[in-house]
Every structure is written in structure tokens, then in C-alpha cells.
Structure 1
Amino acid sequence: MPDAPRKQLPDRVRALLDDLDSTSGTAIGEAAALLLESIEGDGIVHVAGAGHSLAMVCETFYRAGGLAAVRPIWDAGVLPLDDALRSTRVERQAGIGRAVAEAAAPAPPDVAVVFSTSGRNPYPVEVAEACAARGVPVIAVTSARASRGAAARTATSLADHAAIVLDTRVPPGDALHPAAAPRTAAVSTILAAYAWARVLADLDDLASARGVELPRWTSANVPGGDEVNAALLERYRHRVPELTGG
């Protein structure tokens, strides 16, 4: 039947979402608790990724419903939009991730969240390693399956430097279709975004139970949104220079 292939992909995506829930459900709750502890202590959440994992950095930063206490830490070289080949070279180059983390200067009670599906390139590994060395706990959003199947370009993996690991269950190579020989329909962004949304939902539940008001962006396209966001901008602009280009 001609419709069968189209029906198979949604089923496989849903199966991976269920797998993520069962594998990382406890870690998601732990990540939410760690973030709430940081926010209650007036900490900043430093978020990093390279290549297409930068999509998740965008997902966490200045996002409707997202935390205002988020700072993206990154090197322009890892952005693939204006020089894709360069972004691959930079992600694999030793020293850049460490320099990015050191320039951001995270310190307790801050938290770092590092997105990398394979977690085996120097850039995300160094960011995590440098943050952990500064006493800042790292939440790694990565895939154990993809990491095992990836070329090892560092002696350690992202997960090795993390206090909490959210396993997204992305298969090696990322592609999901067709089932017999996957070559298209990458799923890493879907799974990582879902994992982050679950963290935010658990964080909201924890904060509500404790009577904590989270610093959270409101959509600028709803009435009153600009006013809410203006107060948050004033609160965080000096600690998150990326909010105003400063």
C-alpha cells in the first residue's frame, strides 16, 4: 500500500519518545530539581551545543514559556548557517569549547546544559569538562546509542562529565527512514526538544509545589507579554549579555 511508509515513520518516532520516557524519566525529574535549586539561588543556566545542536540552544533561550535565566554560550564558528564545513572543523578542534566555557565564567549556583547527540567531539566535551571543573553541575542531553556508534575524537564523552544524563535514545546516524536502511528523517531535534519540554514541565510542577515563581518569558504576541518581558530583561540583561547584544 502506498501509504504504509508514511505511517511507519510516525510510529517509530512515537516508539522513541516512549523509550526516552522510560529510560530518562527519573533523570528528567532530577534535572528539573537541579534547575530549581539553581534558580532559587539566583543562578544562571548556561546552555551549549554545536552544529545542529544549536537548534536546542535556540529552543532554550529567549523562548516563550522558557526560562529567562538562560545564557547561550557558543563560538560563532560552530554555527553551520554561513559556513557549514567550518562548523564541523571547529566542533572537532581542541581548545575552543574550553575557551568558550572559560569566557562565560560559570560559577555555583549556576548550572550548565550541553546538547550533543553523539557527545564525542571536542567542543561539547570540553564545555562540559570546563564547567564541571568550575564546580558547575552539567546536564548532558545526549544519546548513549549514538555515542557508542560515533567516531571517538576525545578520550572521554560528554556523559562522562555530567552530573545528570538525559538519554534521548537517538539511533546512530540520526536518520530514521526507511526502517530497513535509514537515510533520511533525522530525529535528534525532535527527541531533544521533547526532553527539554519535559524538564520544563517538571520544573513548573516543582516550583508550583514550593510556591516559587519562575522567571519565565511570555510570548511577545499576547497582551501584556512585552511588559512581563521588559522586567525580566532588566533583571538579567547584565548577566546575559546576549539578550541585548552587549
Structure 2
Amino acid sequence: MPEALRRTSYPDRVRSLLDEVDARSGTAIADAAALLLPAIEAGGIVHVAGAGHSLALVFETFYRAGGLAAVKPIWDPSVLPLDDALRSTRAERTEGLGRSVVLDAEPAPPDVAVVFSTSGRNPYPVEVAAECAGRGVPVIAVTSPEASRAAAARAETTLADHATIVLDTAVPPGDVLHPPQAPRTAAVSTIMAAYAWSRVLAELDDLAAARGVELPCWTSANVPGGDESNRALLARYGHRVPELGGLPDPQA
């Protein structure tokens, strides 16, 4: 394959964007880890939000092998596209819904909020971030400023406007990458946001190790000892994170 074509293949374009995340967000990733560690040490919860396909990143942060146990999802069933896709789009654009889910979750210092939204222009993620920030809870926005500038403005502000830290995912407007001359398929936002979050976790682990702090992280339930390791975390966080399903059975 000619070199010019190889450089514009989908895998190469994804790798280029991963490099862009490193270049644009390297400092912000370190800042995010430095923000999260003292919050977790102080008993805080990481409230995580997204809507539509950004809920994939909420899944990536919550009850995930190797992920933080101190995570609570902020969400409303109407923003899930699996049983009514058009409803989820309408919900993300409905004013007041983002604010209401935060009111229900009641985040407060020393908690931290992480909000995933590629465009960051719809009312739902903007309201989640604004309401958390208004409560004194710092916000980490995982978004693409480039995509945000090109998106339709459906709120007076953007997600990034309410963030303490912005992780730039480098996702292009429209999300898609292929074919390079006129992109129409192969969305990349989930890849980029998951990579950015994984980099935060790696940085957080290094920082915790350097300070002699043991992070509360889930172990895969599919490896020996996983269930036993996780039982203590369920007891520790089950009271604040009802989405975990409550406390483990003391007779188990």
C-alpha cells in the first residue's frame, strides 16, 4: 500500500488522535489525578455522568475491573438509547433534567464529578456540570472543544465552561473518521474518551503509590479471589452508591 494511503487508514488516524490526546491533555490528566486522590482519601465519591452513547463511558467507570470503587453514576433512564433512541435524544435536550438528577444524587465536597460529552452543548451534560460546580463539587469534563465549537448550541454555556479540568479527547466534529476524504462512518469518541479515562486511572495509581495510598479498586470477579476482594468495597461504598445493589449478604 502506498505510504500516503497507509497514513490515512482508519487505524493510523485513530493512533494519530491518541497522540493528540496525549499532547493536548497530558497536563490535564495529571491535574485530574491530583484532584481525585485527596477527594477519595477524604471519603469522597466520584459522580459520573453522560447521556446517549456517552453512557458507555459511565459504564466504563462504574463497577469496572480495575476501576475505582468510589464511583456513583448520575443518570436518568430516559437518556439511555437502548429501548427508545429518539427519546434519549429528546431527553438530552430537555432543560431541567440534568439539574434534577444532580439534585437526586446530592453530591457535596469532598466529592468530584466527571461528565462525559463529546460536544458538550446539550442541556443535560451542561446542567449536570453547572449544578455540581454550584455545589462546590469540582468537575472534570471529558469533551472535545473542537467538536463543541462546531456543534449546534442548545444551551447558553458549554460543558467546558463549568469544568475545573477539561480533558480534550481530540474528537473531530461529527465523530466519524472514515473515509478520510469525506468521513461518514467509524465513530471514534468512545475510544478517545475511554483512553483518556484509563490514562487518568494510571496516573492516579502512580500518584497513590508514590504517596503510600491504597486506592479502592475493583478486582475482576472472573479471577480467583475477585469476589472476596470486592466484598469489602461493597460494604464500604454500598451505603452511598445504591446502584451497587446494596450491601453483601453477611451470611454469604
Q: Normalising TM by the smaller chain, what interval? A: over 0.9
User: What residue is the counterpart of 2:107 in the other structure?
Assistant: 106
Letter in 2 for 1:20: V
User: What residue is the counterpart of 2:225 in the other structure?
Assistant: 224
User: What residue is the counterpart of 1:165 in the other structure?
Assistant: 166
User: What residue is the counterpart of 2:44 in the other structure?
Assistant: 43
Paired with 1:21 and 1:245, the residues of 2 have a C-alpha distance of: 38
TM-score by length of 1: 0.97
Contact kept, 8 Å, 1:5 with 1:178, in 2: the verdict is no
Q: Map 1:146-165 to 2 at 5 A.
A: 146-165=147-166
Contact kept, 8 Å, 1:61 with 1:67, in 2: the verdict is yes
Quote how far apart the aligned CAs of 1:74 are: 0.2
User: What residue is the counterpart of 1:16 in the other structure?
Assistant: 17
Paired with 2:220 and 2:190, the residues of 1 have a C-alpha distance of: 22
CA deviations over 1:16-52 (Å, ceiling 9, x no partner): 0001100000000000111101001110000000000
Contact kept, 8 Å, 2:238 with 2:246, in 1: the verdict is no
* RMSD (Å) for aligned C-alpha atoms: 1.6
Contact kept, 8 Å, 1:142 with 1:159, in 2: the verdict is yes
Letter in 2 for 1:148: R
Letter in 1 for 2:219: T
Quote how far apart the aligned CAs of 1:5 are: 7.3
Contact kept, 8 Å, 1:90 with 1:96, in 2: the verdict is yes
Letter in 2 for 1:24: S
User: What residue is the counterpart of 2:244 in the other structure?
Assistant: 243
Quote how far apart the aligned CAs of 1:88 are: 0.1
Letter in 1 for 2:110: P
User: What residue is the counterpart of 1:233 in the other structure?
Assistant: 234
Quote how far apart the aligned CAs of 1:7 are: 6.9
Classify the secondary structure of the residue corresponding to 1:176.
strand
Mapped pair 1:68 → 2:69? yes
Classify the secondary structure of the residue corresponding to 2:186.
coil
User: What residue is the counterpart of 1:122 in the other structure?
Assistant: 123
Paired with 1:19 and 1:169, the residues of 2 have a C-alpha distance of: 6
User: What residue is the counterpart of 1:81 in the other structure?
Assistant: 82
Paired with 1:101 and 1:167, the residues of 2 have a C-alpha distance of: 24
Classify the secondary structure of the residue corresponding to 2:95.
coil
Contact kept, 8 Å, 2:239 with 2:246, in 1: the verdict is no
Quote how far apart the aligned CAs of 1:184 are: 0.2
Q: Give the paired residue count.
A: 246
Paired with 2:246 and 2:16, the residues of 1 have a C-alpha distance of: 41
CA deviations over 1:184-219 (Å, ceiling 9, x no partner): 000000000000000000000000000000000000
Quote how far apart the aligned CAs of 1:245 are: 6.3
Quote how far apart the aligned CAs of 1:54 are: 0.1
User: What residue is the counterpart of 1:182 in the other structure?
Assistant: 183
In structure 1, the gaps of 5 or more residues are: none
Paired with 2:44 and 2:104, the residues of 1 have a C-alpha distance of: 17
Paired with 1:6 and 1:225, the residues of 2 have a C-alpha distance of: 42
Report sequence identity in percent. 78
Classify the secondary structure of the residue corresponding to 2:182.
coil
* 4+ long deviations beyond 4 Å: 4-7
TM-score by length of 2: 0.95
In structure 2, the gaps of 5 or more residues are: 248-252
